């Protein structure tokens, strides 16, 4: 109640339900897909695949919410959430939480991303 409120994620680009895109998408900001994308998606923020959304390609992002369908591999550094109508057919690498609601479908393998650790090199005088 009195704690910090998290900022709602700003969706920079929306691909509408009557839009079909073929090719790679790169975005600095969040992306919502309600149409069809045939190609890879890479964003430095989040991706939401809406109920009418379909992606056939690989996705690399920070956060992923699936309400529609994805057919491809996913790398998500923070979280992946498959809602009750969502479907992911492909392998998943994630670095945070992974939630599948009742009714949601996941067909693939899961791998947890390890945190990047900086190698410490000790230099000794000879």
User: Does 14 score more than 60 pLDDT?
Assistant: yes
User: Does 5 score more than 70 pLDDT?
Assistant: no
Rounded mean pLDDT, 88-99: 96
pLDDT tens string 47-58: 999 999 999 999
DSSP code, position 29: S
Rounded mean pLDDT, 9-30: 92
Q: Which of 37, 45, 74 lies closest to 62 in space, CA to CA? A: 45
pLDDT tens string 24-82: 999 999 999 999 999 999 999 999 999 999 999 999 999 999 999 999 999 999 999 99
For residues 55 and 67, the answer to whether their CB atoms sit within 8 Å is no
Predicted TM-score (pTM) of this structure? 0.84
């Amino acid at each position: 109640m009195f704690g910090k409120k998290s900022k709602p994620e700003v969706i920079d680009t929306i691909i509408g339900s009557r839009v079909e895109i073929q090719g790679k998408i790169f975005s600095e900001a969040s992306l919502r897909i309600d149409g069809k994308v045939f190609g890879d998606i890479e964003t430095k923020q989040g991706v939401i695949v809406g109920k009418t959304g379909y992606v056939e390609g690989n996705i690399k992002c920070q956060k992923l919410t699936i309400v529609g369908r994805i057919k491809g591999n996913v790398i998500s550094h923070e979280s992946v959430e498959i809602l009750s109508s969502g479907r992911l057919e492909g392998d998943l690498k994630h670095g945070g939480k992974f939630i599948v609601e009742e009714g949601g479908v996941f067909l693939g393998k899961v791998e947890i991303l390890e945190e990047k650790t900086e190698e410490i090199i000790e230099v000794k005088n000879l």
